[in-house]
Amino acid sequence: MDTPRFGIPEKLAGRMSMAEQHEYLRTRLSRRGVLRTTAAGAAVTVAGAGTALGAQSAYAAPVRSAPAHAPAHSTPAVDGSLVAPFGRHLAYGADPRTQMRVSWQVPFAVKRPYIRIGTSPWDLSRKISAEVRHLTTPSLNGGKIAAAEQFYVHAGLDRLRAGTTYYYGVGHDGFDPADRRNLGTLGTFRTAPSRAESFTFTAFGDQGVSYHALGNDQLLLGQNPAFHLHAGDICYADPSGSGQETDAYDARTWDQFLAQTETVAKTVPWMVTTGNHDMEAWYSPDGYGGQNARWTLPDNGPDPVNQPGVYSFVHGNVGVVALDANDVSYEIPANYGISGGKQTRWLDRRLAELRANRDIDFVVVFFHHCAFSTTNSHASEGGVRDEWVPLFEKHQVDLVINGHNHVYERTDAILRNKVARKVPVGERTDPTRDGIVYVTAGGAGKSLYDFPAPDSYEGHLHEQESVPTYHWVKGGAKATETVEWSRVRYTGYSFLAVEVTTGRQAALKVSALAESGERIDHFEIRRGR
Of 420, 392, 415, 401, which Cα lies nearest the Cα of 510? 401
What per-residue confidence (pLDDT) applies to 143?
76
Q: How many CB atoms lie within 10 A of CB 137?
A: 22
For 355-389, write each residue's pLDDT tens digit: 999 999 999 999 999 999 999 999 999 999 999 99
> Any idea what the Cα angle at residue 69 is, between residues 63 and 72, rounded to 5°?
115
Task: Give the list of residues 6+ apart from residue 316 with CB closer than 8 angstroms, or none.
Answer: 192, 193, 195, 196, 197, 199, 226, 500, 502
**Amino acid identity, position 392:** F
Name all domains of the chain by residue range, CATH numbers in brackets.
43-188 (2.60.40.380), 198-232+310-525 (3.60.21.10)
* Paired residues of 62 in beta bridges: none
For 424-473, write each residue's pLDDT tens digit: 999 999 999 999 999 999 999 999 999 999 999 999 999 898 999 999 99
What per-residue confidence (pLDDT) applies to 354?
98
* Paired residues of 115 in beta bridges: 128, 170
> If pLDDT is split at 50, 70 and 90, which confidence band does 2 have?
very low
Tell me the whole-structure pTM to 2 decimals: 0.90
DSSP string, 391-412: HHHHTT-SEEEE-SSSSEEEE-
**Which parts of 85-215 are beta strand (E)?**
86-92, 100-106, 114-118, 126-129, 131-137, 148-157, 165-171, 187-190, 199-204
What per-residue confidence (pLDDT) applies to 247?
57
Cβ–Cβ < 8 Å for 405, 268: no
Cα-atom radius of gyration of the chain, to the nearest Å?
Answer: 22
Cβ–Cβ < 8 Å for 46, 132: yes
Query: How many Å is the maximal CA-CA distance in the chain?
Result: 67
Of 21, 75, 17, 15, which Cα lies nearest the Cα of 45? 75
Q: Which uninterrupted H or E stretch holds 350?
A: helix 342-356
What per-residue confidence (pLDDT) applies to 151?
97
Cβ–Cβ < 8 Å for 110, 81: no
Half-sphere exposure of 313 (CA within 13 A, CB side): 27
